[in-house]
């Protein structure tokens, strides 16, 4: 809810907002840009499909493991000193992959690039949490999520076009992050509260745990994990197989469905500030879980192609509802000196969900098929909505 005097609009002229949105626009380059090039990379290096897929897996691995340490560093030395080097490393190492002599070098570079990407994810959201409060924070976080979703919708097309040139052409796109790094170095400033270290070593960790030691902290972290499990399990994994096997549609049609889900997610996320002026973040997340229930259940029960597509779009709307409010809740839970640490844990569970979702759904589907999994996903959505309401009463 908001008061009459509380700012609610996105301050588009703010240097912080401009840097954050520009950096966030680079983040989806990590996987959506490269995914269409996987077959070309496979053929260029004479790999199996499983070996080629490591290009994606190793990128997420470092984010799962190292995000908390990156958050600690951002709380200790400041957001700018983590974000700008992360942008430089992300861009330079990503671009250098185009010159890699063999696949082992490619994978090593992707490990390093994934670490830098975690730094971008953690610090951009933390900067928003530091700079804004209340409904305005929700508005900026919503647009930030919309930028992510828009990139995830557009970059596969760019990656596909570049991959027709050569296997390494998509990686040259990463060099576009260097101007953003320079812009951030010039316009971002560290606040006094950031440059003061928030304790050292175990003292920092103990204080951060005490700050998050509340029942309601389960809601944002569990939601971040389940959101990615459902998004990558249902929309990215189950529905493409269901669409092609049950309805015989083309890969282009499948890509259109995924793009539609991302576009709806972006539109809904951009409205988070408006929603936060009328509902609490907990209630917005609960509505998101309702979408997580309705979307898979519609796809499970539907006997027609439009029903399956509608289910994907509804689930995409749920992602747009939940993720800005998850970050807003976490930003509210902690003080500035521990905010990057709290949000870095969110980044870890997010990356973990992205890794678990496809493996879980594809593995179980080998025995059950995909339709029973859609039913199970819908039940998880119902349970999630009820749990959020119970934990936040």
Helix (H) or strand (E) holding 215: none
Q: How confident is the model at residue 200 (pLDDT cuts 50, 70, 90)?
A: low
Assign domain 15-391 to its CATH superfamily: MFS general substrate transporter like domains (1.20.1250.20)
Report pLDDT digits (tens) over 271-330.
Answer: 999 999 999 999 999 999 999 999 999 999 887 899 999 999 999 999 999 999 999 999
Percent of the chain, pLDDT > 70? 92
pLDDT at 23 over 90: yes
Is residue 378 within 8 A of residue 294, CB to CB? The reply is yes
CA distance 185 to 299: 47
Tell me what the pLDDT averaged over the chain comes to.
Answer: 89
pLDDT at 194 over 50: no
Note the pLDDT of residue 270.
95
Cβ of 86: how many Cβ atoms within 10 Å? 27
Q: Is the pLDDT of residue 128 over 60?
A: yes
Indicate the SS3 state at residue 45. Answer: helix
Question: Quick one: which of 239, 244, 325 has its CA closest to 284?
Answer: 325
Q: What is the pLDDT of residue 85?
A: 97
pLDDT digit string, tens, across residues 62-78: 888 898 889 888 888 88
Q: What is the pTM of this model?
A: 0.88
Residue-level pLDDT at 342: 85
Exposure letters 211-244 (e unless 16+ CB within 10 A, then b): bbeeeebebbbbbbbbbbbbbbbbbbbbbbebbe
CB distance 193 to 79 below 8 Å: no
- List pLDDT tens digits, range 353-374: 988 888 888 888 888 888 999 9
| Residue 209 scores a pLDDT above 70 | no
Radius of gyration from C-alpha coordinates of the chain: 20
Do residues 293 and 172 lie in contact, with contact meaning Cβ atoms separated by under 8 Å? no
* CA separation for the pair 330, 211 (Å, rounded): 11
User: Is residue 91 scored above 50 in pLDDT?
Assistant: yes
Q: How many CB atoms lie within 10 A of CB 69?
A: 14
> 204 with 75: CB under 8 angstroms?
yes
């Amino acid at each position: 809810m908001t008061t009459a005097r509380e700012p609610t609009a996105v301050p588009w002229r703010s240097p912080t907002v401009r840097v954050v949105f520009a950096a966030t626009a680079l983040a989806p380059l990590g996987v959506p840009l490269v995914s269409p090039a996987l077959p070309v990379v496979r053929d260029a290096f004479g790999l199996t499909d499983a070996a080629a897929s490591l290009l994606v897996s190793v990128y997420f691995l470092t984010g799962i493991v190292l995000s908390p340490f990156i958050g600690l560093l951002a709380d200790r030395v400041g957001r700018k000193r983590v974000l700008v080097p992360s942008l430089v490393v992300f861009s330079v190492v990503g671009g250098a992959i185009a010159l890699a002599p063999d696949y082992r070098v490619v994978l090593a570079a992707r490990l390093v690039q994934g670490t830098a990407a975690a730094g971008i994810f953690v610090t951009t959201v933390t900067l928003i949490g530091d700079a804004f409060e209340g409904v305005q924070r929700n508005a900026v976080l919503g647009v930030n999520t919309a930028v992510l979703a828009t990139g995830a919708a557009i970059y596969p097309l760019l990656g596909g076009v570049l991959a027709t040139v050569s296997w390494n052409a998509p990686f040259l796109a990463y060099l576009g992050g260097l101007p953003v790094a320079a812009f951030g170095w010039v316009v971002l400033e560290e606040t006094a509260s950031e440059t003061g270290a928030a304790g050292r070593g175990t003292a920092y960790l103990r204080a951060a745990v005490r700050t998050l030691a509340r029942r309601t902290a389960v809601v944002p972290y569990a939601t971040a994990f389940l959101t990615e499990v459902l998004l990558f399990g249902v929309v990215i994994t189950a529905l493409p197989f269901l669409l092609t096997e049950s309805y015989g549609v083309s890969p282009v049609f499948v890509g259109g469905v995924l793009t539609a889900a991302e576009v709806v997610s972006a539109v809904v996320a951009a409205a988070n500030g408006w929603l936060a002026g009328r509902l609490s973040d907990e209630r917005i997340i609960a509505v998101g879980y309702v979408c997580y229930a309705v979307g898979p259940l519609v796809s499970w029960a539907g006997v027609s192609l439009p029903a399956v597509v509608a289910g994907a779009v509804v689930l995409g709307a749920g992602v747009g509802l939940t993720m800005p409010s998850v970050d807003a809740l976490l930003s509210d839970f902690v003080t500035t000196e521990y905010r990057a640490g709290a949000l870095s844990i969110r980044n870890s569970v997010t990356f973990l969900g992205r890794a678990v979702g496809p493996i879980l759904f594809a593995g179980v589907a080998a025995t059950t098929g995909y339709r029973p999994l859609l039913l199970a996903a819908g039940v998880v959505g119902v349970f999630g909505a009820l749990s959020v309401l119970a934990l936040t009463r």
